[in-house]
Structure 1
Amino acid sequence: MPEQQEPSYAHGTGATALLGDTIGRNLDRAIAAHPDREALVDVPSGRRWTYAEFGRAVDEVALGLAAHGVRKGDRVGIWAVNCPEWVLVQYATARLGAIMVNINPAYRLHELAYVLRQSGVEMLIASTEYRSSDYRAMAAEARADCPRLREVVHIGDPEWDRLAADGAALDAGYLTAREAELSCDEPVNIQYTSGTTGFPKGATLSHHNILNNGYFVGGTVGYTEQDRVCLPVPFYHCFGMVMGNLGATSHGACIVIPAPVFDPGATLHAVQQERCTSLYGVPTMFIAELGLPDFASYDLTSLRTGIMAGSPCPVEVMKRVMGEMHMAEVSIAYGMTETSPVSTQTRRDDDLEARTETVGRVLPHLEVKVVDPTTGVTVARGTAGELCTRGYSVMLGYWDEPDRTAEVVDEGRWMHTGDLAVMREDGYLAIVGRIKDMIIRGGENVYPREIEEFLYTHPKVSDVQVVGVPDERYGEEILACVIPRDPADPPTLEEIDAFCRDRLAHYKIPRHLRILSGFPMTVSGKVRKVELREQFAASAGAVSGAVSAAG
C-alpha cells in the first residue's frame, strides 16, 4: 500500500503553562518583580515611568474612570494616535473590567459614529487633533447621533487632568474590590476589523485571549526585564497593544513610543537613544527605515530581535534587517484580530528561508490545520487549503453579531481565517494568498504571492502587488502593480514578460501592468488589494502597456 501522507494539522506544545490572570493582576506581578525598572518611555515628550510609577498612573486613570461612572462591562472608546495616555487607558479599563473599544485614528465622522453606536460606547477618550484630523469637532458631531455616549474626554485638555484627579475621592481599596470580581474569560477589548465589504465587525477579546497571546509572542523572541521594545506600529491594532504592550509588560520589559504615528527617522532615533533591543513593524516600515538617506548614521547595535508581520517580507529586505539592523533573531508572526492575533511564529534560530518563505509554526497551546475550502476536510501536507486555528486565542465573537460570528467560527471552535496556506512536512506554514485574492485564470489557480516574490527580484522593481482583473476569454487575467526603483525608468510590460518567460508558467505571467507611486494601505500597513482590483478592473484592457498612474 502507498504510504499515507501526514495531514496538515499541528498543535503547539511547551513547558510554559497558560496564564490564568486578568491583565490587571498580571501587571501587579510585573510591578512587584520590577518596581524600579522602566515600563514606559515616550520619546516625543521625554516622559518616563518605572513599573511602580506606571502602576500608580494606571490606578489614577482607573479610579478617574470609575468616578465618572464607568463600571464593569461598560464600553470605553479610545480614539487616539500613539501616546502614553493610550497605554494608561488600556490597563486602566482592564483593571475595572470595562471593555476598551479601539477606534482607528484614521476614521472620519461616518465610521466613528458607526463604531460608537454598534459597540454602545458610554465614554470616549480621544486625541484633540493630529495633522488633518480634528478629533474634537468630529467627536462633538458624532455625539448627537450616539445616545449612549455620555462623555468625551480629550487627551491634553484640562478634562483629562480632571479625570485622574476626580479618582482621588474614591477609597484606595476600590480597585482591589473591583478586580476581585473579574474573570480572565470576560471581555476586555473590542477591535474593529477592516472588512472589505460592508461595515467593520467588532472582534471581542477577553483578558485570557490577549494576555496569553502577548505573553507567548514575547516569550518566543525571548523577552526578559532587560528588553526595551520600540513600537512604531499603531496601538489601536493588535500588533501594538497585544504583541507590543502586553508582550512587554508580561515579561517586565519596557515599552518605547517613538512617535504618534510611524516616522522612519523618529523610529531609528528612538532605537538609538533608548538602546532598544526589539523593533516592530510591517515590511513597508522596515523598507522605509532602510531607505533613509542617513540610515548608516544611526547606531542600531543594541537591537537583537523584533517582530515583522502584516505581509510577506522580501528576501533582500530580510537580509538587510538581520544584517544592517542587527536583528539576527527577528521573528515573523502571522495572525488576525479574531485570534488575538498571533497563531504562528518563526523561532529565534530559524534560517533565512523560514523567515521569508513561511510564517513559522504554531505557538504553544494552539492548534492549526489546513482544510479544503469547499468540504472542510483536512488536506495532506504540501497541499494548499484554508488555514484554520483553534485554542485560547479565538475571539469570544463579533460584538452583538452572532450570525457573522457563525460565518467564521465553526461548531468545533475553529476560526476560519480566509487565508490559503500550505503546511510543510516540518509543520511550518506558507501563506499563498487569500481565498478571495486567489486568481482563477482559465481554470488554473494562481497565487499572487508567488508572482510577487519573483518580480521582487527584477532590477527595476521596488515593490509589487499582483491582483486579478476581469477578462472575457480567461475569466480573470493577471495585473502587476509596480512601484519602480527609479520613477524615471520604470519597467515596461515587454520587459516584465521577458523577465518571466521560461521562469514562470505561462499562465502566471502578468498580462497587464500599472506603474504606481504607492499602494492604497490600511493604517496598520497592509496593502488594500481589493482597492487595486476595483480601481483597475474596468480599465484592464487599456493598461496592457506600461501606463503610469499616481499612487
Structure 2
Amino acid sequence: MTPAPALVHGAKAPPLWFKTLGALIDEQANRYEDHTAAVFSWQNVRLSYRQLSDRSKVLGKAMLEMGLRNGDCIGIMAGNCYQYIEVFLAGGRIGCPVVVLNNTYTAEELRNAVQKSSCKLVFLASEIGSRNLSGHINILRGSSRKNPALPDLRRVVCLGGSQVGEAGVEMQTYNTFTSNGHSVFMNDSVLKRAESLVRPDDVLNLQFTSGTTGSPKAAMLTHTNLINNARFVGDAMALTHEDVLCCPPPLFHCFGLVLGFLDTYTHGSTIVFPSDFFDVGKVVDALVEEDVTVLLGVPTMYISELEVMEKTGQRPRRLRTGLASGSTVSQSLMDQLREKMGVEKMLIAYGMTETSPVTFITSLSDPESKATRTVGRVIPHTSAKVIDSNGKLLGRGERGELCTSGFALQKGYWKNKEKTKESMKEDENGVLWMHTGDEAILDDDGYAHITGRIKDIIIRGGENIFPEKLKKGSCNILLSARPALWLSRTRDTARNEELNKWVGQLLGRHKAPAYCFWLGDAGIGNDFPKTGSGKIKKHVLCDIGNNLVHNGPVKAKL
C-alpha cells in the first residue's frame, strides 16, 4: 500500500495579523494599561504596558533626532536587560531593523557583525555577567572620527557605566541618549510621520543564524513574521493576561525575543527576566517569588533547576507548562518536571531562525507518546513537506529533507541573494519553500520527527549513517566524513578499543567510530565549541578532528 504523501498544512484560522510592531504597542498599552508587562529581577525594574509604550516613544524620538531613518539598522549586544526591550520596541516603531548581536562574540566578531549589517547605531553593555566588554567598546569606537572599518556606524550607546570617549565614533550613555528624545524638535507629529512609513512586511529584526555548520548569515524577519509567530506559539501555551512567564534564554536569540517577550506581549501576559545571563539560582528564586506559571528553557536548564530545587526545597506554586526548544524532552525528565515542579505538560517547539522561528509545536492535549517523541504539528498558515535529494515528495514515514512554507519564512538573508536562493526555492506551483537542511519524518498523524541534519549524514561502505541515531546509541557526538567519537572523561573511562567494540555491537560494524577524541587532550579543548544559544559548532569540531587526523600523530585512532 502506497503511503500518504509527506505533506501537511496548518489551520487557516485564526486569520493572520497584518500590523506593525508600533501599532501593536499602542493597542496593548490601551488594552492592558498599568498591567505589568516585563520584570527584570536583577535590575529591580518593573515596567507596565503603558510605560513600555511611553518609553519606546521617547527612545524612538531620540533615534530620529540623531538622524536615523526608515531602514537604517540598529544593533544591540547586551544581557536580558530592560534597555534591550526598549531598543527593540523603539526601533520597530520608526522602521529601523534591530540587529541582535550574539553575547558570546569576541570584539572582532562584533565588529564583523556590525559591519555586515551596516549598523548606524549600536547599544552595547559595558559588561554581561562577569565578562567585561571594554575591548568590544574600544573596537567599535575606532581611532578616527569615523571608524574606517565601520563606515556606517555613527554612534555607540553604552548600557551601564560611563565609558564615553572623545576620540573615534561618538559615544553616549543610555540616559544621555534617551534624553535627546525630549528635544523640542522631536514632537509627536515627527514620530507619527516616521511610524506612518512602516509597513507590516518591512524588516523588523535581523537575526544571525547560529552558524553550527559554517559562517552565520543574517535572517531578515518582518513585523508579520514575528508578531504572528509569537501569537501562535502563545496560543499553543494558552497564555492569558494572568500568566507570568519566566525567560532564562537570551534575548539575542529568537527563543528569548520571540518565544519569550513577544509571546507574552501579544497575549497581555507578564514576562520575568531573572538575570542578564543564565543563573540557575536566580531562575529558581524567580519561579517562587514571581509566582511563575510558564517556564522557558532547554533540557539542560531544566535539569540544573531541578538540582537546585532538590537542594533548597523550593517549589513553584502555579507553574503549569513550559516550552523547550532545540531538543525533545525525555519521558524521564518530563516525569521529574511533573513531580518536582508541578508542570503538567512541557511543549516542544521546532523551527529555525529563518522561519521566525517556530513552524512545528506540540499541544497541551497531545498524548505522552507524541509530546515526548515528536516536535508536534505545523502551526496555522504554515505547510511542510519531506522530499528526497532530487526534490521528489516522499511518503509518510519516509526519511528526507524537511521543507516549510507560509507566513513565517524570512524575507531573505541580508545582502546575500546567493545564499537566499540556495535555501528558499519555488516549486512547480510557485510556492516558496524554505529548505531547512534538517532530516525528518512525517508520521500518519502529521507529527514531525527530526532525525538529524542532511549535511551530517555519513556515507560509509555504501551505507547511510545518521548521527542522531548514533548519538542516541552512544550518548556522544559523532561527526566528520567517517564516524568519530567526541567524549568527556569520567572516573571509570573505557578504553578506545572497548568503546569501538561496544558501538559496533550496539549499532552495527559500519557505524563503529574510526576515531575517538577526548575533551581535555592536547589540541581538543576542555568543552565542545558552542554557539551563544548552546548548539554545538559541528564545523569547528570537524576542523579540529581533521587537523588531528592529518597533522597527527593521532593516538585516538581505533
Same fold (TM > 0.5): yes
Q: Which residue of 2 aligns with 1:460?
A: none
Which shows bigger deviation, 389-398 or 198-207? 198-207
Q: 1:491 to 1:426 in 2, by over 3 A?
A: farther
Q: CA deviation at 1:203?
A: 0.8
Residues 99-158 of structure 1 deviation map (CA, whole Å, 9 limit, x = unaligned): 111111221232222222222111111111231432322321394411111111111246
RMSD: 2.2
Q: Which residue of 2 aligns with 1:133?
A: 133
Q: CA deviation at 1:14?
A: 4.8
Q: 1:303 to 1:232 in 2, by over 3 A?
A: same
**SS of the residue 2:267 aligns to:** coil
Q: Which residue of 2 aligns with 1:465?
A: 477
**SS of the residue 1:376 aligns to:** coil
Structure 1 unmatched ranges of 5 or more: 457-463, 471-475, 546-551
**SS of the residue 1:357 aligns to:** coil
Q: Which residue of 2 aligns with 1:421?
A: 440
Q: 1:246 to 1:226 in 2, by over 3 A?
A: same
1:338 aligns with 2:351: no
Q: Which AA in structure 2 matches 1:147?
A: P
- 2 CA distance for matches of 1:118 and 1:522? 19
Q: CA deviation at 1:310?
A: 1.8
1:323 aligns with 2:339: yes
- 2 CA distance for matches of 1:492 and 1:363? 47
Q: CA deviation at 1:291?
A: 3.6
Residues 70-89 of structure 1 deviation map (CA, whole Å, 9 limit, x = unaligned): 22111111121221100110
1:396 aligns with 2:408: no
- 1 CA distance for matches of 2:515 and 2:332? 25
Q: 1:542 to 1:260 in 2, by over 3 A?
A: same
Q: Which residue of 1 aligns with 2:364?
A: 348
Q: Which residue of 1 aligns with 2:466?
A: 447
- 1 CA distance for matches of 2:474 and 2:98? 42
* Equivalence map 1:57-76=2 (5 Å): 57-76=55-74
Q: Which residue of the other structure, out of 544, 547, 550, is the alignment partner of 1:535?
A: 544
Q: Which residue of 2 aligns with 1:161?
A: 175
- 2 CA distance for matches of 1:496 and 1:140? 52
- 1 CA distance for matches of 2:327 and 2:362? 14
Q: Which AA in structure 1 matches 2:487?
A: V
Q: Which residue of 2 aligns with 1:461?
A: none
Q: Which residue of 1 aligns with 2:156?
A: 152
Q: CA deviation at 1:494?
A: 5.6
Q: Which residue of 2 aligns with 1:548?
A: none
Q: Which residue of 2 aligns with 1:206?
A: 222
- 2 CA distance for matches of 1:250 and 1:206? 16
Residues 421-474 of structure 1 deviation map (CA, whole Å, 9 limit, x = unaligned): 111111111111111111222221121212222334xxxxxxx32224x5xxxx
Q: Aligned residue pairs: how many?
A: 526
- 2 CA distance for matches of 1:537 and 1:352? 41
Q: CA deviation at 1:502?
A: 5.6
- 1 CA distance for matches of 2:492 and 2:322? 35
Which shows bigger deviation, 82-91 or 59-68? 59-68
- 2 CA distance for matches of 1:367 and 1:290? 37
**SS of the residue 1:490 aligns to:** coil
- 2 CA distance for matches of 1:539 and 1:172? 62
- 1 CA distance for matches of 2:488 and 2:368? 25
Q: Which residue of 2 aligns with 1:387?
A: 402
Residues 272-324 of structure 1 deviation map (CA, whole Å, 9 limit, x = unaligned): 21111111112222233234485552222321112111234444333323432
Q: Which residue of 2 aligns with 1:370?
A: 386
Q: 1:452 to 1:313 in 2, by over 3 A?
A: farther
Q: Which residue of 2 aligns with 1:235?
A: 251
Q: Which residue of 2 aligns with 1:44?
A: 42
- 1 CA distance for matches of 2:240 and 2:309? 33
- 2 CA distance for matches of 1:501 and 1:402? 44
Instruction: Please say if residues 311 and 526 of structure 1, whose CA atoms lie closer than 8 Å, have aligned partners that are also in contact.
Output: no
* Equivalence map 1:167-178=2 (5 Å): 167-169=181-183, 170-178=186-194
Q: Which AA in structure 1 matches 2:477?
A: Q
Q: Which AA in structure 2 matches 1:466?
A: L
Q: Which AA in structure 1 matches 2:316?
A: L
Q: Which residue of 2 aligns with 1:519?
A: 528
Q: Which residue of 1 aligns with 2:98?
A: 100
**SS of the residue 1:415 aligns to:** strand
Which shows bigger deviation, 168-177 or 331-340? 168-177
Q: 1:81 to 1:423 in 2, by over 3 A?
A: same
Q: Which residue of 2 aligns with 1:268?
A: 284
Q: CA deviation at 1:491?
A: 4.2
- 1 CA distance for matches of 2:213 and 2:474? 29
Q: Which AA in structure 2 matches 1:467?
A: L
* Equivalence map 1:17-32=2 (5 Å): 17-32=15-30
**SS of the residue 1:542 aligns to:** coil
Instruction: Please say if residues 246 and 271 of structure 2, whose CA atoms lie closer than 8 Å, have aligned partners that are also in contact.
Output: yes
Q: Which residue of 2 aligns with 1:490?
A: 493
Q: Which residue of 2 aligns with 1:282?
A: 298
Q: CA deviation at 1:172?
A: 2.5
- 1 CA distance for matches of 2:516 and 2:178? 56
**SS of the residue 1:107 aligns to:** coil
Q: CA deviation at 1:511?
A: 5.3
Instruction: Please say if residues 108 and 138 of structure 1, whose CA atoms lie closer than 8 Å, have aligned partners that are also in contact.
Output: no
Which shows bigger deviation, 117-126 or 288-297? 288-297
Which shows bigger deviation, 17-26 or 415-424? 17-26
**SS of the residue 1:525 aligns to:** coil
Q: Which residue of 1 aligns with 2:236?
A: 220
- 2 CA distance for matches of 1:523 and 1:298? 29
1:432 aligns with 2:446: no
Q: CA deviation at 1:195?
A: 3.0
Q: 1:407 to 1:100 in 2, by over 3 A?
A: same
- 2 CA distance for matches of 1:442 and 1:60? 64
Q: Which AA in structure 2 matches 1:249?
A: Y
Instruction: Please say if residues 279 and 307 of structure 1, whose CA atoms lie closer than 8 Å, have aligned partners that are also in contact.
Output: yes
Q: Which AA in structure 2 matches 1:521?
A: K
Q: Which AA in structure 2 matches 1:419?
A: D
Instruction: Please say if residues 294 and 321 of structure 2, whose CA atoms lie closer than 8 Å, have aligned partners that are also in contact.
Output: yes
Which shows bigger deviation, 37-46 or 259-268? 259-268
Q: 1:315 to 1:483 in 2, by over 3 A?
A: farther
Q: Which residue of 1 aligns with 2:76?
A: 78
Q: Which residue of 2 aligns with 1:473?
A: none
- 2 CA distance for matches of 1:224 and 1:172? 32
1:507 aligns with 2:510: yes
Q: CA deviation at 1:530?
A: 2.4
Residues 187-231 of structure 1 deviation map (CA, whole Å, 9 limit, x = unaligned): 111111133566421111110011111111111111111111111
Q: Which AA in structure 2 matches 1:520?
A: P
Instruction: Please say if residues 210 and 533 of structure 2, whose CA atoms lie closer than 8 Å, have aligned partners that are also in contact.
Output: no
Seq. identity, % = 34
Q: Which AA in structure 2 matches 1:428?
A: Y
Q: Which residue of 2 aligns with 1:481?
A: 486
Q: Which AA in structure 2 matches 1:251?
A: H
Q: Which residue of 1 aligns with 2:165?
A: none
Instruction: Please say if residues 193 and 337 of structure 1, whose CA atoms lie closer than 8 Å, have aligned partners that are also in contact.
Output: yes
Q: Which AA in structure 2 matches 1:163?
A: F
Q: Which residue of 1 aligns with 2:168?
A: none
Q: 1:232 to 1:183 in 2, by over 3 A?
A: same
Q: Which residue of 2 aligns with 1:55?
A: 53
Q: 1:200 to 1:221 in 2, by over 3 A?
A: same
Q: Which AA in structure 2 matches 1:524?
A: S
Instruction: Please say if residues 70 and 197 of structure 2, whose CA atoms lie closer than 8 Å, have aligned partners that are also in contact.
Output: no
Q: Which AA in structure 2 matches 1:109?
A: A
Instruction: Please say if residues 27 and 250 of structure 1, whose CA atoms lie closer than 8 Å, have aligned partners that are also in contact.
Output: no
